[in-house]
Amino acid sequence: SAVISQKPSRDICQRGTSLTIQCQVDSQVTMMFWYRQQPGQSLTLIATANQGSEATYESGFVIDKFPISRPNLTFSTLTVSNMSPEDSSIYLCSVDREGYTFGSGTRLTVV
């Protein structure tokens, strides 16, 4: 299975600011996935990131709020823009290689 390095592991941010989360995979993958996990909840898919094309967003998530970059087959970033306390969550990236593997997660607190 793949190994994913995700950073930052946690951050506390002021409302109105933006945070960019990075994920680096140890092998080339076609698709990378970004999830949000609100406190006490299950995982919700934000978007699927393909290299060389725009990300595909799930219902309820928009590019202006969660812009995603996918410059190559091993790297992706997710930005949480204009943050509010409701954005406080764990954000995780994932790839599918012989089963889904997740990054270690970014625990975001917006104050």
Partner 1 sequence: GIQVEQSPPDLILQEGANSTLRCNFSDSVNNLQWFHQNPWGQLINLFYIPSGTKQNGRLSATTVATERYSLLYISSSQTTDSGVYFCAVEQAGGSYIPTFGRGTSLIVHP
**C-alpha–C-alpha distance, residues 32 and 30, integer Å:** 7
Asked if 98 interacts with partner 1 (CB under 8 A), we say: yes
Asked if 61 interacts with partner 1 (CB under 8 A), we say: no
Asked if 50 interacts with partner 1 (CB under 8 A), we say: no
Measured from the CB atom, the residue of 35 and 74 that comes closer to partner 1 is 35
> 62-79: buried (b, 16+ CB within 10 Å) or exposed (e) per residue?
eeebbbbebeebbbbbbe
Asked if 104 interacts with partner 1 (CB under 8 A), we say: yes
Contacts of 7 (CB under 8 A, 6+ apart): 21, 22, 106
- Shortest reach from residue 108's CB to partner 1, in Å: 11
Grouping H, G, I as helix, E, B as strand and the rest as coil, residue 86 is helix
Residue from the set 21, 32, 33, 74 that interacts with partner 1 by CB under 8 A:
33
Measured from the CB atom, the residue of 22 and 82 that comes closer to partner 1 is 22
What are 107's strand-pairing partners? 10, 90
Binding-site ranges for partner 1 (CB under 8 A): 1, 33, 37, 41-43, 45, 48, 90, 92, 96, 98-102, 104-105, 107
